[in-house]
Structure 1
Amino acid sequence: MPKTESVFVYIGTYPDEETARSDYQIVKELHSAGAVGNYDAAVVTKDTHGKVHVNKDETATRHGAWGGAAAGAVVGLLFPPAMLASAAVGAAVGGVGGHLWRGMSRADVKEFGELIDTGEAALVIVGEDKLEQAVTKAALKADRHVAKQLDVSPEEVDDAVRAAAAQV
């Protein structure tokens, strides 16, 4: 059965964490309005020691079946474990990251990683393909951004998240 939907990844960089959080709030409002389906998002920052922090709030991780695993898996694919400030991000990479990795080329991974390195903060959004149109219309305030549709279906991510949750 051919895939009719795909997963969309958006990474935008910002001059500061506050501006990234402002766009994060816009994405949450789009979800509340029914403009996007399942998605996961996180604000990513680096501290003065080069450690990468994935910042999520208590309600933002509950947007459908993905339960906070998809954005963490993307960050886990982009940075070596030694750079991650939280082992929880590394745990999300497992099966979820495997599905997302198969949907990305090496050039995509390099482009995403280099983009995050350029800003003080980043917003990482992973969602169903209808998220792409909503994010474009919302005119987020990122200094730079990269957006890609991956060759992986939302159902594959759903299954990987459920499998990861069963192992916890």
Structure 2
Amino acid sequence: MAKPDSVFIFVGTYPSEAAARADYDLVKELHSAGAVGSFDASVVTKDEDGKVHVNKDETATRHGAWGGAAAGAVVGLLFPPAIIGTAAVGAAVGGVGGHLWRGMSRADVKEFGEIIDEGQAALVIVGANTLSQALDKAELKAEKQMAKELDVSTDDIDKAVRQAATEVA
């Protein structure tokens, strides 16, 4: 049974960055319409050198309560730092990643990481569990997807994001 304040993670793979961005835009529309609570989302791509890039729409980030830290923390858990081609993930991985890590098993982390490897682009969404129902209704166009509710409180993530923001500032 879903806890009202638990965290939900969605990872979907897409044939192109444009396809992943289309679903990213749909999630932003759901948020604007009030269908989802706090969330963070990123489009993740790999370049020809195997570097992972976390692509964010900074306008959307300013409107989201988690400001880029939650999705960045998930990416930081899934990929070794040496292949992440952006510094945006760095500060988020600490406190936020620690909370998310406690909510996932090693098998979960491996499975999430493998699904991203299979696609040319991925959409990573982290949010309150109300996101799960909204995404089901939205019918995202991911070729493959994995979703998991974590036994982690959104309040804990909020506190960790605020802490990470003060450390970066």
Normalization by structure 1: what TM-score? 0.96
Contiguous gaps of at least 5 residues in structure 2:
none
Residue number in structure 2 paired with 1:44 = 44
SS in 1 for 2:145: strand
Residue number in structure 2 paired with 1:103 = 103
Where in structure 2 are the equivalents of 1:41-80 lying within 5 Å?
41-80=41-80
> Cα distance 1:4–1:32, how it changes in 2: closer, same or farther (>3 A)?
closer
Structure 1 ranges of 4+ moved more than 2 A: 62-65
Residue number in structure 2 paired with 1:167 = 167
SS in 2 for 1:146: strand
CA contact (8 A) 1:40 1:127 kept: yes
CA contact (8 A) 1:42 1:123 kept: yes
Amino acid across the alignment from 1:135 = L
Residue number in structure 2 paired with 1:117 = 117
CA contact (8 A) 2:36 2:128 kept: yes
Distance in 1 between residues matched to 2:4 and 2:119, nearest whole Å: 34
Distance in 2 between residues matched to 1:51 and 1:60, nearest whole Å: 24
Distance in 1 between residues matched to 2:44 and 2:88, nearest whole Å: 14
Distance in 2 between residues matched to 1:4 and 1:134, nearest whole Å: 14
SS in 1 for 2:123: strand
CA contact (8 A) 1:41 1:60 kept: no
Residue number in structure 2 paired with 1:128 = 128
Residue number in structure 2 paired with 1:92 = 92
Q: 1:90 deviation in Å?
A: 2.1
Q: 1:7 deviation in Å?
A: 0.2
CA contact (8 A) 1:38 1:63 kept: no
Aligned residue pairs total: 166
Identity of aligned residues (%): 74
CA contact (8 A) 2:4 2:129 kept: no
Residue number in structure 2 paired with 1:12 = 12
Two-structure CA RMSD over aligned residues (Å):
0.9
Normalization by structure 2: what TM-score? 0.96
Distance in 2 between residues matched to 1:137 and 1:62, nearest whole Å: 25
